[in-house]
Structure 1
Amino acid sequence: MPIQTIAPLDSADASAIAFLSDARLAAALQTTQAACVIVHPAQAEQAQARGACIVTADPYLYFARLTQWWRKRHGQYPEPGIHPSAVVHPDAQVDASASIGPLSVIEAGVKIGAHTRIGSRVTIERDCVIGARCVIQSGAVIGGDGFGFAKEGQSWVKIEQLGAVVIGDDVEVGANTCIDRGALGDTILANGVKLDNLIQIAHNVQVGENTAMAACVGISGSTKIGANCTLAGGVGVVGHIELADNTHVSGATVISRSLTEPGRYTGVYPFEHHAKWEQNAASLRQLKKMRDRIKSLEKELTAVQASVATQQKI
């Protein structure tokens, strides 16, 4: 039977190809019904004992390449061109090999590079630049105004956002992600950046090459993120700081100062049963009082020890 689909190990049948990239799941090779399995050399003997397999140094990467080949072979990529329902300003420059999806809006001065795919309901506002081979998923907004206001008495005065957004080549922007235009200079995403869904990139942020961010990350204005960084889901980064190249941040961590050394950073308080969490939270509120009391006791203890020492000398 020819292979007709790509499937997970646990649900694959005799018409599917599957992959194993986590050695901890190697036991699944004994029960999978997949016609062929992509495995690491460490699992080659076990895979060969059950049937057909493809042995590769990086099964996950092989799987990624296979999905691209599969989708292209089955004609699931959009054809080049502009959907009739899209609104493209006459001054915009859209490469002939790019595709613009239904109900998208491309405003004046926008430049879109070769083989870039713009999904449905995407808005790219004035003067923004999108590189080659980018993927902009449905609902994304690129070039909306940054959040800038000056206080005047009890009211706010809008600061017009006069910059743009410049996106390099091979960048992917997830669904409903927003990338704000710069206030004066540009907001910049370098080549190879990957953004998940529902991410907020504020004005004048700079993101280095091949940095990836998972869903619901929020980056405040004028922050510089280095190259080859990863930010897990729900990470928040305050404004006007810098993250070094090769910085990796665990989920739900809030970064409030610059990180000049590469490495992994985590700042998540472990979850637990609610009643116990309430007890710990109540203790946390008393930390300053407890610290002050300990300092006071330490001073008293030092005074007592000094007094004892003096008496012993006498």
Structure 2
Amino acid sequence: MRTRLVDLVERFGGQLVGAPDIEVSAIAPLDRAGASDITFLSNSKLRALAAQSQAAAIILAPQDDPVVAATYEGARIVTANPYAYFARTAQYFVSLKEVASAPGIHPTAVVHESARVDPTACIGAHATVEADAVIKPRAVIDAGCYIGREAVVGEGTHFFANVTFHARCIIGARGIVHSGAVIGGDGFGFAPDGGAYIKIPQTGRVVIGDDVDIGSNTTVDRGALDDTVIEDGVKLDNQIQIGHGCHIGAHTAMAGCVGVAGSARIGRYCTIGGAAMINGHIEIADNVHVVAGTLVPNSITEPGHYAGFYPVGSKAAWERGAAILRNLPALREKVRALEKRLNTLTEEKH
């Protein structure tokens, strides 16, 4: 399916430079885009590559346009945020080819008689919807999903195959939960008693807002007493662990393999890099950006960028550095002794 550039601009805005009736059928990278493609430039370091692109049109920022236009012969859509424009354009192209899920309940699905499934919702093959669950309009529950009793799935939310959504959990509108995710499993709560552990019942819920994306095999534990809360617009990558009683602020994004221990509170508009570890019972302010692989043991009260890891090096260099680190306490004492001796000599001289 082909789309005219003028139609894209009418839909998403931006300034079109070039023939409005040019048609494009797909989005492609700068170096592979052809005569029927539209591409985008979001990194000014790639201006030279963009200027030589063979794409029919390019999406770019005002500051990049004069440089690219000097040699690029295709049409241009000039916009303040080319990356966001690309995302919206990509969504539009996907929607043109997307086959909508047919509303209704598959014959092999098991839906409890007390569950409330909107007629416009789709329940896939071998899915299970337990008692008193609510599936709202245009929600899509793909094959093999499990929806626990009294759970609520919001309007237009899509569960991909084999999502587990336990009892009393709630997710808002337009959510996306990918395969293998488990929402509302028990938190890791045990009380030590004489060398053994006594399980603490996990009686809270998971409450998820609107426009939340949750990646494959990510787990969000229910609260022990209070709810685990994921606010609007949060984006969680694959294989993330959110512990019981956590609170994740709106529009925070986490990359793959992040671990958040129980009762941590993370603010709004934060980004957490892949494999970062967030300690439990701490608070992280709004607009905090944590670099991948960082351990956050204590609360962060000020916005900004934070990192805490040792840069990779050769094995020999690492071993030398480790040996130095082991000797730092002794070296510290030697420096203190030398400072004390130096002060004594200075006093004697005067």
**Unpaired stretches in structure 2, ≥5 consecutive residues:** 1-21, 103-120
TM-fit CA distance, 1:63: 0.4
Match of 1:7 among 15, 28, 33: 28
Structure 1 position 204 matched with structure 2 position 245: yes
SS of the residue corresponding to residue 30 of structure 2 reads: coil
Shift of 1:45: 3.3
Among 225, 233, 241, the residue aligned to 1:184: 225
1: CA distance between counterparts of 2:74 and 2:222?
A: 54
Q: Distance in 2 between matches of 1:244 and 1:85?
A: 43
* Inter-partner Cα distance in structure 2 for 1:171 and 1:271: 34
CA–CA distance in structure 2, aligned partners of residues 205 and 287 of structure 1: 37
- Equivalent residue number for residue 322 of structure 2: 281
Instruction: Report if aligned partners of 2:230, 2:248 keep a CA contact under 8 Å in 1.
Output: yes
Secondary structure in structure 1 of the residue aligned to 2:168: coil
Give the aligned partner of residue 261 of structure 1.
302
For 1:261 and 1:36, the matched residues in 2 are separated by 42
Q: Deviations over 1:66-98 (max 9, x none)?
A: 111111111156454010221111321011310
Match status 1:234 vs 2:234: no
Does the CA-based 8 Å contact 2:47-2:68 persist in structure 1? no
| Same amino acid, percent of matched pairs | 46
Stretches of structure 1 lacking an aligned partner (at least 5 in a row): 310-314
Distance 1:247 1:77 in 2: 38
- CA distance 1:76–1:235, shift in 2 (3 Å): farther
CA distance in 2, matches of 1:32, 1:96: 44
Name the counterpart of 1:21.
42
Cα 1:31/1:24, change in 2 over 3 Å:
same
Aligned to 1:64: 87
Mean CA deviation greater in 71-80 or 198-207 = 71-80
Q: Secondary structure at the match of 1:291?
A: helix
For 2:63, what is the secondary structure of its paired residue? helix
Matched, 1:146 2:187: yes
Give 1:1-314 correspondences, 5 Å limit: 2-48=23-69, 49-76=72-99, 78-79=101-102, 80-309=121-350
Which has the larger displacement, 5-14 or 174-183? 5-14
TM-score, normalised by the number of residues in structure 2:
0.85
> SS of the counterpart of 1:298?
helix
Partner SS state of residue 70, structure 1: helix
Query: Offset at 1:248?
Result: 1.2
Q: In 2, Cα distance between the equivalents of 1:243 and 1:46?
A: 41
Q: Distance in 2 between matches of 1:165 and 1:30?
A: 49
Alignment coverage as a number of residue pairs? 309
Distance change >3 Å, CA 273–CA 42, structure 1 → 2? same
Q: 2:143 aligns to what SS in structure 1?
A: coil
CA gap 1:166/1:247 in 2 versus in 1, 3 angstroms: same
Aligned letter for 2:341?
A: E
Deviations 1:157-211 (A, max 9, x none): 1111011100011111111110000001100011111111111100000011111
Determine helix, strand or coil for the equivalent of 1:277. Answer: helix
Which stretch has the larger CA shift, 213-222 or 79-88? 79-88
Relative distance call for 1:47 and 1:305 in structure 2 (3 A) is closer
Q: More displaced, 2-11 or 139-148?
A: 2-11
Whether the aligned pair in 2 keeps the contact of 1:71 and 1:77 (CA below 8 Å) is: no
- Give the Cα separation in 2 of the matches to 1:235 and 1:78: 37
Residue type matched to 1:74 in 2?
K
